[in-house]
């Protein structure tokens, strides 16, 4: 019986490192992950390519700085429908979308980040489920951005998750550009079963150390 417990604890100890790595799995869903003037391979706009623009609206913020100030000369890591972020776009709701996967078995994740938009994000959807609704009417392209920090339901085990930002572009007096900037990560939240395996793993380590301390050396005389 003792041998059975020892084997069980040993298996738990072996599982522990992989379990802890899975529990800490995080995916970066930020925009602008590429070179300025090229397509952002991670994001689409209305199903078409999203661009990291070569020029942006002077009011658009990057890390708290307007375009052209404090090193903000890289397109502000925004994405826009065209390679030039100052181009006029029609008044409509534009869908910015990305797909991500988490190999963890978790079905819940923590979504933490900040966004800026021109004109304004009206809703954020994850797998066609609304996870954030913005009740404000003001444009959101300057200042410190709008923060999001909440738990969301995800599809784990390598399944594809679809994240969508719906951005309203209003009519401007002389035309209006459209854009989105997001700095965010999505981290898997361990399942209760995962925590149990971690506890068992720690117990296995303690059990093993205790056995070693109690081991006795026997001498046999002829």
| CATH of residue 162 | 2.60.120
Q: What is the rounded average pLDDT for all residues in the chain? A: 79
Q: Would you say residue 35 lies in a domain?
A: yes
152 part of a folded domain: yes
Q: Residue 209: what pLDDT? A: 58
What does pTM read for this prediction? 0.76
pLDDT at position 163, please? 98
Q: Answer whether residue 47 is part of any domain.
A: yes
User: Does residue 145 sit within a domain?
Assistant: yes
Exposed, middle or buried: residue 110 (CB in 10 Å: 0-12, 13-18, 19+)? middle
- Reference 145, options 39, 31, 25, 28; nearest CA is 31
Lowest mean pLDDT segment, chosen from 85-99, 145-159, 162-176, 178-192: 162-176
The whole-number pLDDT of residue 136 equals 76
Residue 221 inside a domain? The answer is no
93 DSSP β-pair partners = 168
Of residues 94 and 197, the one with the higher pLDDT is 94
In a domain, 121, yes or no: yes
Distance CA 85, CA 45 (A): 13
- What would the pLDDT profile of 134-144 be if each residue is shown by its tens digit? 877 777 887 78
Averaged pLDDT for residues 33-47: 91
Contacts 24+ apart (CB under 8 A), 68-77: 74/32, 74/36, 75/32, 75/36, 75/37, 76/32, 76/181, 77/30, 77/31, 77/32, 77/33, 77/52, 77/181, 77/183
Secondary structure (H, E, C), 122-169: EEEEECCEEEEECCCCCCECCCCCEEEEEEEECCCCCCEEEEEEEEEE
Residue 59, domain member (yes or no) = yes
Counting the structural domains of the chain, the total is 1
Using CA atoms, how far residue 128 sits from 111, 151, 153, 154, 161, in Å, is 16, 16, 11, 11, 10
- pLDDT, position 75: 52
Q: Alpha carbon of 148 to those of 5, 46, 90, 152, 182: distances in Å?
A: 45, 23, 27, 11, 10
Give the structural domain span for 178. 25-190
8 Å CB contact between 75 and 36: yes
């Amino acid at each position: 019986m003792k041998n059975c417990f020892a084997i069980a604890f040993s298996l738990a100890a072996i599982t522990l490192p992989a379990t802890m790595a899975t529990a800490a799995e995080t995916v970066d869903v930020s925009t602008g992950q590429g070179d300025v003037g090229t397509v952002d391979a991670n994001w689409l706009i209305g199903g078409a390519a999203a661009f990291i623009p070569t020029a942006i609206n002077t009011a658009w913020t990057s890390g708290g700085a307007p375009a052209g100030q404090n090193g903000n000369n890289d397109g502000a890591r925004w994405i826009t429908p065209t390679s030039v972020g100052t181009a006029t776009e029609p008044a409509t709701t534009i869908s910015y979308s990305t797909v991500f996967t988490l190999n963890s078995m978790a079905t819940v994740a923590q979504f933490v980040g900040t966004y800026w938009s021109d004109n304004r994000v009206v809703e954020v959807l994850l797998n066609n489920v609304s996870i954030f609704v913005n009740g404000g009417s003001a444009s959101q392209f300057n200042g410190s951005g709008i923060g999001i920090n909440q738990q969301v339901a995800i599809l784990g085990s390598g399944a594809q998750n679809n994240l969508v930002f719906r951005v309203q572009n209003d009519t401007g007096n002389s035309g209006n550009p459209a854009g989105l900037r997001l700095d965010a990560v999505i981290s898997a939240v361990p399942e209760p079963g995962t925590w149990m395996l971690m506890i068992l793993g720690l117990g296995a380590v303690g059990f093993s150390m205790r056995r070693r301390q109690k081991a006795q050396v026997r001498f046999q005389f002829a």
